[in-house]
């Protein structure tokens, strides 16, 4: 599998597959898929029944994960 490196947030697609979100968050696919199924991660099933993530939802998730 080919991985893509993003050097700034503007390069991240508006809707990405779960694998891209895994790369950005440095988390395993299985972990994010499990969290998505449990409603803990903002992913959704697209028309092809694959997991996808909205860029704005991912950014919100990242903000909520920050330690205060």
pLDDT the model gives residue 68:
60
DSSP 54: E
pTM of the model: 0.82
pLDDT in tens, 13-67: 899 999 999 999 999 999 999 999 999 999 999 887 899 999 999 999 999 988 7
pLDDT at 48: 75
* Domain residue extents for the chain: 14-65
Coil, strand or helix at 65 = helix
Q: Is residue 42 helix, strand or coil?
A: coil
Q: How many CA atoms lie within 13 A of 66 on its CB side?
A: 7
Length in residues, the chain? 68
Residue 1 has pLDDT above 80, yes or no: no
Count other C-beta atoms under 10 Å from residue 43's C-beta: 24
14-65 carries CATH number 3.60.90.10: no
pLDDT category at 2 given cuts 50, 70, 90 is low
């Amino acid at each position: 599998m080919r991985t893509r490196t993003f050097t700034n947030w503007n390069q991240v697609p508006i809707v990405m597959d779960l694998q891209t979100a895994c790369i950005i968050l440095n988390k395993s696919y299985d972990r994010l898929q499990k969290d998505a199924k449990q409603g803990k991660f903002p992913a959704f099933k697209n028309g092809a029944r694959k997991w996808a993530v909205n860029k704005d939802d991912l950014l919100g998730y990242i903000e909520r994960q920050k330690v205060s």
